[in-house]
Amino acid sequence: MTHLTMEQLLALREPGLEPGVQGWRDHATACELCRAELDRLDQRVARLRALPTLAPARNRFAEIRARAVTDRRRRRMVVVSLGGLALAATVALAVVLSPGTAAAPSPTLAEQQELEDIIGRSQSLEGAIQAYNPEQRVTDGRTAVVAATLEDRLARVDQQLQMVDMMDQSLRQHEALRLWRERVGLLNALVDVHATRARAIGF
Amino acid sequence: MDAYGLANADAVVPGVKSGDPAAQEALYRAFEAPVYNLARRICRTTEDAEDVLQETFFEVFRSIGRYRGDGSLWGWIRTIASSKALMRLRRNKYRDTDELQDDVTPVRREDAALRMDLESALERLSETARAVVWLHDVEGYTHEEIAGMMDRTVSFSKSQLARAHSRLRRWLQEEVPA
C-alpha cells in the first residue's frame, strides 16, 4: 500500500478540490498512518502560528518619519525644479545675453560660457542624484537630516534664481553666476551624501 | 478577520494621508510588531528585518493615498511588508552570489543527532523555503499569491512547502499525536 506524500497531505489542507484529492482524502480516512501524518502536519502548522511575535530592539519611527519628510520635500522640489529651474536657466542666459544699459557693464564671453557650463553641470548632477534612486533606499536618520538640510538650501537658491531678472542689470550677471555656482556646490554635496550612503550599505 | 488592527483606523488613515506625524506614529505603533515579526521570520538577520520594517513603513506613508479602505488595513500593509522582505532575500542572494538554493543552511554535524525546537528548525530552512512556509502556513497566502510575489510558479511554491515540511518533520522528530 502506497502512503500519501507530503505534497499530497498538504493538498488535503488546501481549499477547493484539485484532481485526485478526493482519492487521497479517502485514503487518509482509511489509512491510520496517513491520518496520523495529517494530524502531525496540522499540529505543526498550529505550532508555527503560535510562535511568539518578535519585536524590534528599538523604535525606528523617528528615522522613518525623517525619511518620509525628506521624501515629501524632495517630491515638492522636483515639481518646482521641473518648472522653476527651466525658467531660471532661461532667465539666467537671457540676463547675461540681453543688451545692458549704457552704464551697465556688458557680459564677457567668458562669463557667458561659464554660465552655460555651470547650468549643464547642474543638470548632470541632478541626473547623478536620480541615478542613486534616493527615494527607494534605506536611509538612516542622520543621512536623512543632512540630505534634508541640503535640499532646503537648494530650494532657497532656486527661489533666488527666479528673482534674478528683477535685479538691476549691473547686479544680475554676477548674481546669476554666484547662485548657479552655489547650486552646483550644494548638488555636489548631495551627490556625496548619497554616494557615501550607497557605499556604506553595499549597493 | 484580521489578527491585527487599528481601532480608530477611520480617523488615523486620513491623518497619515495628510502627513500628520501623530497619525503616522499611531499607525506605526499599531503595526510595528506584526511587520517586524513577518520580516524577521523571513529574513536572515535582525538588521535585514529592521531594514524591511523601515522600508515597509516608508512605503506605507508614501502610498497611503492608494489605500481605498475596501480591504483590511493590515492586509494592505502585510502585502507591502511581504514584498519588501522577499525583495531583501533576492538582493542578498545576488549580493552573496548565492543562487536560489533549495537546500538547507549548513549545520554542524552533531546537531543532526539533536532534537530541535521549532524555532531552530525554522531557522535552519533555506531562506526561500522559510519564506514559503511562513507566508503560506502563518500569514495565510495561497500558493498562487506566493508564486506571484516570488516571481515563481505555483508548483515551485508547493514543492518548497512540501520539502520544508518533510525537513521540519525529520528535524523535530515528531511523535504520533495522541
Average pLDDT over residues A181-188: 91
- CB contacts of B49 in chain A (<8 Å) are 54, 56
Q: Is the pLDDT of residue A7 over 90?
A: yes
Helix residue ranges per DSSP H, B64-153: 73-95, 118-124, 127-133, 143-150
**Least confident piece of the model among A80-89, B74-83, B100-109:** B100-109
Interface predicted TM-score (ipTM) of this complex, two decimals: 0.84
Residue found by looking up cell 498512518 in the block: A33
Average pLDDT over residues B44-68: 92
Query: For position A112, what pLDDT does the model report?
Result: 76
Q: Is B41 on the interface with A (CB under 8 A)?
A: yes
Q: Is B114 left (phi over 0), alpha (psi -120 to 50) or beta?
A: beta
Q: Is the pLDDT of residue B97 over 60?
A: no
Chain B residue nearest residue A62, CA to CA:
B25
Q: Is the pLDDT of residue A71 over 70?
A: yes
* Gyration radius (Cα) of chain B, Å: 18
Q: Is the pLDDT of residue A168 over 80?
A: no
The C-alpha cell that represents B76 in the structure block: 494592505
Q: Is the pLDDT of residue B121 over 90?
A: yes
Query: For position B60, what pLDDT does the model report?
Result: 94
Backbone angles phi, psi at B5, to 5 degrees: -165, 175
Chain A residue nearest residue B136, CA to CA:
A45
B-proximal residues of A, 52-111, CB under 8 Å = 53-57, 59-61, 63-65, 67-69, 71-72
Q: Is B80 on the interface with A (CB under 8 A)?
A: no
Query: For position A140, what pLDDT does the model report?
Result: 62
Query: What is the crossing angle of helices B21-42 and B46-63, to 10°?
Result: 140
- CB contacts of B41 in chain A (<8 Å) are 51, 54
Query: For position B96, what pLDDT does the model report?
Result: 52
Average pLDDT over residues A93-113: 60
Q: Residue B152 burial (CB < 10 Å; 0-12/13-18/19+)?
A: middle
Q: Residue B126 burial (CB < 10 Å; 0-12/13-18/19+)?
A: buried
Q: Is A47 on the interface with B (CB under 8 A)?
A: yes
Q: Is A142 on the interface with B (CB under 8 A)?
A: no
**Least confident piece of the model among A71-75, A93-97, B48-52, B150-154:** A93-97
Q: Do B53 and A47 touch (CB under 8 A)?
A: no
Q: Is B57 on the interface with A (CB under 8 A)?
A: yes
Average pLDDT over residues A82-111: 58
Q: Is the pLDDT of residue A131 over 90?
A: no
- CB contacts of B3 in chain A (<8 Å) are none
Could you give the CA distance from residue B121 to residue B172 in angstroms, rounded to a whole number?
Answer: 7
Q: Is B55 on the interface with A (CB under 8 A)?
A: yes
- CB contacts of A133 in chain B (<8 Å) are none
- CB contacts of B19 in chain A (<8 Å) are 68-69, 72
- CB contacts of B34 in chain A (<8 Å) are 53
Average pLDDT over residues A129-141: 67
Q: Give the model's confidence band at B111: pLDDT under 50 very low, under 70 low, under 90 confident, else very high.
A: very low
Q: Is the pLDDT of residue B98 over 50?
A: no
Q: Do B168 and A44 touch (CB under 8 A)?
A: yes
Share of chain A above pLDDT 70, in %: 72
Q: Which pTM does this prediction carry?
A: 0.64
Query: For position A8, what pLDDT does the model report?
Result: 93
Please state, as a whole number, how many other Cβ atoms lie within 10 Å of the Cβ of residue A162: 18
Query: For position B129, what pLDDT does the model report?
Result: 96
Q: Is the pLDDT of residue A85 over 90?
A: no
- CB contacts of A64 in chain B (<8 Å) are 28, 54, 57-58, 61
* Gyration radius (Cα) of chain A, Å: 32
